[in-house]
Every structure is written in C-alpha cells, then in structure tokens.
Structure 1
Amino acid sequence: MIDTRRLRTLRAVADHGTVTAAAAALHLTPSAVSQQLGALEHEVGHKLLTRDGRGVTLTAVGRIMVAHADEVLAQLERAEAEVAAYATGVAGEVTVASFATAIAAVLSPAIRALRTSSPGLQVRVRDAEGDQSLTMLLDGEADLAIAVEYRGAPDDHRLTRLPLYAEPFDLVLPADHPLTAPPLSALAKETWIGPYPGNPVHDVIAVACEREGFAPHFAHSSDDFRAVVALVGAGAGVALVPRLALRDLDLTGVLVRQAHGPERRVFAAIRRGAERHPLLRPLLGALKDTARETGLTTG
C-alpha cells in the first residue's frame, strides 16, 4: 500500500528540485524527507530519483509516480470538499496568497462582503509577490492564490483557474519630460524603472517593449510601485505601471498617460479537485463580484 504522505513528498521534491528545498516547503527536516522517499522507493520497488549536481531529477518510474500522485492528490481534494459540503453551514478558515494590488483592489472588498454573506468564513491573507502565491498554493501553504499570467508560466494541470480582471498599464513620465504622450517606441533609449526579473509585471513590460522593437534598459529595480513612481518623479527614468497600482499614490512630479497594449491578466487559482469546497465557493464568488466592480473584468 502506497502512503499518500510519501506521494506528497515526492511531488514536492519534483517541484523544488532538491531535498532541502522540499523539506522547507513541507516543514520537515531533510533527513525526514529522505526517509520518506526511501520508504516510497521500497514500496514501489524502483528507484525514483537520481542525483544531478546538487539537486535531484526524476527517473522514468519517478515521473510515472508523480503523474499518479497528481491524480491521487486531486481526488483527495475532491473527497475533502464533499465531506466539508456535507456538514451544515459554512464555517472555517481559508488562507489566500495574493500580490498587494489585488489584496487592495479585490480581496479586501470581498472579505468585507463575506462578513455579511458568510460570517462563519474567516479569510487569512498572505502577501505574495510575483508567482510566489502559486508556489504557496501547490505547497499547501494557501488554499487559494491570486496571481498574474506571464510569458513562460507553466500551465500546471494541478490547478483550476478563474479569470478575475485584465488591468491596463499606464506610462509614468517625469513631469518635465519633453514628450508628454509618446508611443513606447519613442522611449527605446530611455532609462527604465520597474520590478525585478521574475516578477510577472517585469515580463509584461519587456514583452510590450519587444513588440515595439526594443528591449528596455532597467537601471533601477523595485517591486514596490510607490518606489517606482517616486523614482520617476525624481527624474531617474520612465516606467509602465499597472493602473490599479497607481490608485492612492502620490503622483507629484510625474505625468501619467495611457499606454496602449500592455495589460496584466489576473486570476484566482485553487488546487484541482477543490472546486466544490463550501469554503472556497463563496470566496470565489465574492472575488468575481468585486473584480467586476473594478470595471476591468475579463468577461
């Protein structure tokens, strides 16, 4: 009989590439992870991993087991959802991992609405920039993630996604910039300010500029849009900023102009099999409602 806890451990090692990283994600010691993997190999009767430098890679049998692990874990999510749905009433805690702008724009209003419609539902929020929220979701540290689509993002079959909104970008220029409403192509030789590589917004900006025939030179990097706008106001460069991120910021010393084309597409994600969970369904519904109120819904 294969222990499902060991399947989770194998999945974590496949995700993170090393025993040490998987142990951190699972809140176990590396030796405990190694013991679970050894026990699973004994149960299966085949070697599942091979050393690859400082990391590990799956053997052919390891890949087979990971594929089956995904199906088993999804089925367990369905079982938990049905058992929870059988209980009377909606009461419990849900952890949501999200980037800061979405917390302010859609998650906080959704929590406010749920206090009336589902008072027994408690939402715990974790600020997670970039694609960290999806990692937290897959690692079991969150029950729902709010994230941004980006080029090269894996289409992970372990997730079910719900589109929330598509947010345009605005061009932010120093107030004394000689071009008050330039096309992106006119800014090819400018100094740029933006998020670090790895942040999906960085990728959206890079793709938008590539479509205009140039690669932006990022001289200054920050994942905090307050800092980005402040640097533009100081004359340090130009930036593309998601429109909702500009709300309530100090725009002294900058010009804000609409940029045509770039947008960040925001979605909610849950683990496959949890679609009918009684705690997640009202939360997803509230998120969809508050996303619609932004006027930026994807349809």
Structure 2
Amino acid sequence: MIDPRRLRILRAVADHRTVTAAAAALYLTPSAVSQQLNALEQETGHTLLIRGGKGVTLTAAGEILLAHAHSVLAQLERAEAELAAYAQGSSGTVTVAAFATGIAEVVAPAIADLARERPGIAVRVRDAEGDESLPLVLDGEADLAVAVEYRGAPGADDRRLARVPLYAEPFDAVLRADHPLAAEERVELAQFAGSDWIGPYPGNPCHDMVLLACELAGFQPRLVHLSDDFRAVAVLAGAGAGVALVPRSALRGMDLRDAVVRPVTGPAATRRVFAAVRRGAEDHPLTRPVLDALARAAAGLSTD
C-alpha cells in the first residue's frame, strides 16, 4: 500500500527539483525527505529518482507515479471538502497569497464582502509576487492564490491546480511630462525603441510581459533601471530616467508628479489575473465562498 503522504513528498521534490528545497517547503529535514522517498521506492519496487549534483530528476517510473499522485492528492482534497461540507463548516480561516495590486483590486473588496455575507470566514493575506503565490498553494502554505499569467506558469490544464479567471488589464506607457510624445493621446511602443527603459527585475512576471510587448513591436528594450516597485518606476519615469510600461491598476491613485500616462496602440502587454486552489479543493465550504467573492470583486472592476 502506497502512503499518500509520501506521494505529497514526491510531488514537492518534482516541483522544487532538490531534496533540500522540497524539505524546506514541507517543513521537514532533508534526511526525513530522503527517508520517505526511500520508503516510497521500497513500497513501489521501483527507482523513482535519479540524484545528481544539480538536483534530482524523476525516472520513467517516477513520472508514472507522479501522474497518479496528482489524481490521488486531488481526490483527497475533494474528500476533505465533502467531509467539511457534511460537518456544515461555516467558519474557519482561509490563507490567500496575492501580489500587492491584486490585494488592492480584488482581495480587500472580497474580504469586505465576506465580512457582510459570511462573517464566520476569516481571510489571512500573504503578500506574494505573481510567481510566488502558486508554489505557496502547492506546498500547503496558502489555501488560495491570486496570481498572474507568466512564462512557465502552470497552465489551465495543470492537474495540481484548479483556476478561476478574475480580470485582465493593459499596461500603459509612463513617461516624463515634457517628453516629445507626451502630447499624444496614445503612443506606439515602437516609438520608444531608442529610449532607456525602467522595468521590473527578471523573474517578476511583469518583466517578461514588458519584454514580449517590445519584441512584438520590433525591438528589445534597453532596461537601464530595475525596480519591482511600480511607484518607484513611475517616479523614475517622471524624473526623465527612461520610459516604462506599468499595469493600469498599479497607477490608480498614484501621485505621478512629473510623469504622464498614455495608453498603448498596437501590440501591448496585458496582465491576466486568476485565482487558484489545489485541485479538488475548489468546492470546499470555506474556499468556495472566497473564490466567489473574488470573482464578484473582479466583475466590478473598471480598466478605465
């Protein structure tokens, strides 16, 4: 009989690619993870992992077992959800990992909504960049993520996660008020091909979106200044340090000082935001109301 707890460890190792990183995510010691993996190999009678200097890779048998692990763990999530529903669980805490703008746009309004409609549900928020929240959900450190599409993100058909689309928003150009193109109502990215640029660090999902938008416009941006804080990006643009693309919601209510914001024509970046939970947990009596509240908050958004 295969211990499902060991399947969770196998999936964590497959996600993190090293025993040490998987152990840290699961709050176990590396030796404990190794022992559980050895026990799993004995249970199955197969070598599941190849251990190398740069980490571990799954064998063919390991890949087969991992595919079943996704189904087994999702079914366990469903069992917990049904048991909770049977117990008529109407109170509890849901941990939501979300990026800063997502917190402002949908998480905070959802919390206010739940306080009126489902006061027994408490939401605990963890600030996490768009590419950090999904691993927190998969590792069990958060129940729900508000994340953005990014290169390498788990797709809608990922067997580990269930997703709910929330909203999409364009990126606007931010430039100094006396920039030659500031008088235009709309700008084309190609017009900034020779400019210095300000943008997020590599690894931030918005970094990839900016690069892709510029590539579609026919050039590679010369990123001179890097910051993950959109307020800092806008201030630098206002100081004439360069031009930037910033998600529209991040600019809402911001003191732009000497900067102006212009919509972009032609190829432009779009940030697509979704909520995600571990597959099988989407109908949990605590999780479902939070997903619904996030969807209602997103439906009331304006991209103007």
TM-score (norm 1): 0.96
**Structure 2 residue aligned with 1:204:** 209
Deviations 1:192-248 (A, max 9, x none): 111111111111111111111011111111111011111112211100000110112
One-letter code aligned to 1:141: E
Whether contact under 8 Å (1:160, 1:271) holds in the other structure is yes
Alignment TM-score, normalising by the size of structure 2: 0.95
SS at match of 1:56: strand
Do 1:11 and 1:66's aligned partners in 2 also have CA atoms closer than 8 Å?
yes
Aligned to 2:177: 175
Q: Does residue 1:229 correspond to 2:234, yes or no?
A: yes
Q: CA deviation at 1:178?
A: 1.4
Given that 1:130 and 1:148 are in contact with CA atoms closer than 8 Å, whether structure 2 keeps it comes out as: yes
Contact 2:197 2:243 in 1 (8 A): yes
- Is the CA contact 2:198–2:224 (under 8 Å) kept in the aligned structure 1? yes
For 2:257, what is the secondary structure of its paired residue? coil
Give matches, 1:144-155, under 5 Å.
144-155=144-155
Aligned residue number for residue 279 of structure 1: 286
CA–CA distance in 1 between the matches of 2:194 and 2:284? 51
Relative to structure 2, which stretch is displaced further, 119-128 or 43-52?
43-52
Contact 1:91/1:121, CA 8 A, preserved across alignment: yes
Query: Quick check: 1:251 aligned with 2:252?
Result: no
SS in 2 for 1:109: helix
Residue 21 of structure 1 corresponds to: 21
Question: Residue 102 of structure 1 aligns with which residue?
Answer: 102
SS in 1 for 2:269: strand
Query: Whole-Å Cα distance in 2 between the matches of residues 152 and 76 of structure 1?
Result: 27
Answer whether contact 1:47 1:59 (CA < 8 A) is retained: yes
CA distance in structure 2 between the aligned counterparts of 1:281 and 1:7, rounded to whole angstroms: 26
**1:296 Cα deviation (Å)?**
4.6
Q: Given residue 190 of structure 2, which amino acid in structure 1 is its aligned partner? A: S
- RMSD of aligned Cα (Å): 1.3
Give secondary structure in 2 for the equivalent of 1:105.
helix
Stretches of structure 2 lacking an aligned partner (at least 5 in a row):
none
What does 1:1-299 correspond to in 2, within 5 Å?
1-155=1-155, 156-180=158-182, 181=184, 182-260=187-265, 261-296=268-303
Secondary structure of 2:171's aligned partner: strand
Residue identity opposite 1:276 in structure 2: D
2:254 aligns to what SS in structure 1? coil
The alignment of Structure 1 onto Structure 2 pairs a total of residues equal to 297
Other structure's SS at 2:202 match = coil
Shift of 1:153: 2.7
Classify the secondary structure of the residue corresponding to 1:23. Answer: helix
Structure 1's consecutive aligned runs of 4 or more residues displaced over 6 angstroms after TM superposition are none
Alignment deviations for residues 29-75 of structure 1 (CA, whole Å, 9 cap, x no partner): 10110111111111111111112323011111111111111111000
Could you tell me whether the CA contact under 8 Å between 2:71 and 2:159 is conserved in 1? no
CA distance in 2, matches of 1:38, 1:186: 58
Amino acid at match of 2:25: A
- Is the Cα–Cα contact under 8 Å of residues 148 and 273 in structure 2 kept in the other structure? yes
Alignment partners' CA distance in 2, 1:186 and 1:218:
16
Q: Give me the whole-angstrom Cα distance separating, in 1, the residues matched to 2:282 and 2:222.
A: 42
